[in-house]
Amino acid sequence: MNYIFCLVSLLGAFLLFQVQPMISKFILPWFGGSPGVWTTCMLFFQIILFGGYSYAHILTRRKAATQALFHVALLIAAAVILPIVPRETMKPVDSSSPSWHIFLLLLATVGLPYFVLSATSPLVQVWYGRVYPHRSPFRLYSLSNIGSLTALLSYPILIETRWDVVKQAWIWSAGFVVFAIFMAACALGEWKRGSSEAEEKLHAEEAKDAKLPGPTLWRRLTWVILPAFASVMLLATTNHVCQDVAVIPFLWVIPLALYLVTFIICFDHPRWYKRAVWAVPAMVVIFVTAGLFRIPWPGEWDPNFIAEITINFMALFLICMVCHGELARLKPGTSHLTEYYLLMSAGGALGGLAVSLIAPMVFKSFLEWPLSLLVGFALAGGVAYRGLSKGCSQSFRQGLAVGTMVLVVAGLFFIQRWKLDFEPTVERVRNFYGTLVVTQDATDPKETGGNPEKYHALWCSGTKHGQQFLSPELRREPLTYYGKETAVGQLLTGLKDKPDAKVGVIGMGTATLACYAEPGQTYRFYEINPEVERIAKQHFTFIADLQARGAKYELATGDARLMLNREPDQHFDALVLDAFSGDSVPVHLLTKEAFTIYGRHLQPKGVIAVHITNHYLNLAPVVARLAREFGYLTTRLCVDPGDAAGHYRPDYMLLSKDEEFIKAHPPVLPEVVVDQDVPLWTDHAHNLFQILYKN
């Protein structure tokens, strides 16, 4: 039984965390590839985890035979609905209420199996404690976290690289059946134990513990507050790093892995967590995190995004160590074990609710992250004091209390000054799809050869998504990635003499490409975020100017692929793919299935322009492989605009079956070209690790 308990703890936790990235990747294309999909999935899993712990808490208070029969029946019911492959009919029909649609979809596909898995840890530990009353069941909790960590790290490295998501779902389902068999053995073992004398009288250790006074209200509140704050810190740091620092897909794996490591360390043995050893460094790292770009560093060292990511993750790790270390110190005896886990899971779910649903409604930026740093600094200060003052004299404790209070207040003053002092903006808005910021600034007079030119700019996740001069004589000039010398500029300028030309643009931004629209032409934009069009019309004039010139403006609100798939053939002369948020990639726009749809909407000599500018991913081989699959000729243009104010050097690939067009646009390559062969991307198989820049 000891080995079965260990196996079930490991396998159950492995499956629990393996399904999270797998099902998230499966449905990601259906919701526009937004980072909010992962955050919403995390919230769903936290809520179901709470449900599973509630179920375990209630079940373990019933007779052993009842526990066994009911849980085996639930295991069978979960196995019957396998495999966990979402049906095509579950795809959203529009982009409204994506969070609720994700919840319902996950509930219908993985809800019951995940619920059963989530109850495993508390159930197995209670049953283990009854079979082995003189052994600590908390070692099984560390073992389950090792299984969770293994699943999380193995998915992008081993699982994702070998099988597409449909095969992954079938393999996972087979693993669940194996788990169900061993879990049923544990349940039947509990039934056997219950049919013996132990049913009449609990083991001596459990009976003794049950007679002791129950946990106080404050202790129960602490069981909720500490994991809630750790959950907030996890999700807030993930949002901050993945959207504001380095928009690298799958970067969420690292913070979640660190979060799990803290559970493993803290619950393995009390010797690993010493208050002062963890709390004092936590204060230092939080302070450095907040002031990374404000502190005058010695020499000429200038923090880059790698340094920022590293220090952010260190802060997350140390804060979670303090939270989970204190939580482990407060663990109860066996009779209150399921209640303990129940309140812990409730705290995790509350933290997820706070970041995923409440924060976007209350805050206009990712404010939960700097607020978490403030709370974490104060918490670490209090824990550090308790650790350092233990066993000291009264006078020393008083002096230490005053010194700690002064240090905490001073630290909080600087942290709030550094992290809550925002630059003035024209508008800031936040929703499921991220944060949009409109700023007003002026060019350097040296760049424009005269007076500074004022302009508005739109930012999303730290990346500029368009810019426009405010003066009437310059406001039609296409700036940033869309200048006339760029590939997309040359493409659309070439349509100038075709009055009935039709252009599709996936990703609106400021609608800068509307600059190229001539009278009689039609520009159809596809935009998933409804706030983008409002901002484009309210703070920029590209759309209004297009209509004033006699061109036709059209908008399809929703995921571009879903919209194009439902529409009749559009007969585009040009289709521009520019829907990337920051440097993240909605991979469902670069798959075989997506290009099948694009081809249906193109004229015979139509051109697809793919914006592949990216700091972290080498997208050129992906597009080239798609071009070969569909018989397109390609050219790559990365044109240097020189010193022109407001212009960048974007990287585009143009795809067309018109040989004359491709010959008329010879390649202009970037300084560094990384040649590599990649498999054809499909909705079910695509590996971002393969195209990650190594330097």
Whether 103 is in a domain gets the answer yes
| Cβ neighbours around 184 below 10 Å, total | 16
What pLDDT is stored for residue 77 in this prediction?
93
* Domain-ending residue, one of 142, 167, 202: 202
Chosen domain end from 168, 202, 236:
202
Query: For the domain that residue 120 is a member of, what is the CATH number?
Result: 1.20.1250
User: Domain for residue 138, yes or no?
Assistant: yes
What are the angstrom distances between the C-alpha of 276 and each of 242, 267, 384?
31, 18, 5
| Number of domains, the chain | 2
pTM of the model: 0.77
Give the domain extent around 174: 1-202
pLDDT at 271: 85
Question: Within a domain: residue 576?
Answer: yes
182 part of a folded domain? yes
Q: How confident is the model at residue 197 (pLDDT cuts 50, 70, 90)?
A: very low
Nearest residue to 535 via CA among 615, 636, 458, 623: 458
State residue 256's pLDDT score: 84
Instruction: Determine, yes or no, domain membership for 284.
Output: no
- Residue 161: helix, strand or coil by DSSP? helix
> Quick one: which of 335, 333, 371 has its CA closest to 355?
371
DSSP 606: E
Domain membership flag for residue 314: no
Give residue 198's pLDDT.
Answer: 47
Cα separation, 169 vs 26, whole angstroms: 9
Identity of the highest mean pLDDT range in 34-38, 189-193, 260-264: 260-264
Secondary structure (3-state) at 123: helix
The residue length of the chain stands at: 695
Q: What is the pLDDT of residues 72-91, one digit of tens each?
A: 899 999 999 888 888 777 77
Contact 228, 351 (CB under 8 A): yes
Q: Do residues 586 and 579 lie in contact, with contact meaning Cβ atoms separated by under 8 Å?
A: yes
Query: What is the chain's mean pLDDT, rounded?
Result: 85
Mean pLDDT, range 149-158, rounded to an integer? 83
Report how far residue 372's alpha carbon sits from residue 684's, in angstroms, rounded to the nearest whole number: 37
* Mean pLDDT value across residues 120-126: 83
pLDDT of amino acid 246? 54
Q: Does the pLDDT value for residue 203 go beyond 80? A: no
- Amino acid identity of residue 103, one-letter, is F
Among residues 152, 183, 202, which one ends one of the domains? Answer: 202
Weakest mean pLDDT among 236-250, 294-308, 509-523: 236-250
Task: Identify the band that residue 199 occupies on the pLDDT scale cut at 50, 70 and 90.
Answer: very low
Whole-angstrom Cα Rg for the chain: 28
CA 262, 265, 269, 270 dihedral sign is negative
Tens-digit pLDDT profile for residues 400-414: 999 999 999 999 998
More confident residue, 365 or 282: 282
Q: What three-state secondary structure class fits 565?
A: helix
Closest C-alpha to 32, from 589, 412, 621: 589
**Position 343 in a domain:** no
- 10 Å Cβ neighbour count for 413? 10
Per-residue tokens: 239: 């949002």
CATH number for the domain including 676? 3.40.50.150
Task: Classify residue 97: in a domain, yes or no.
Answer: yes
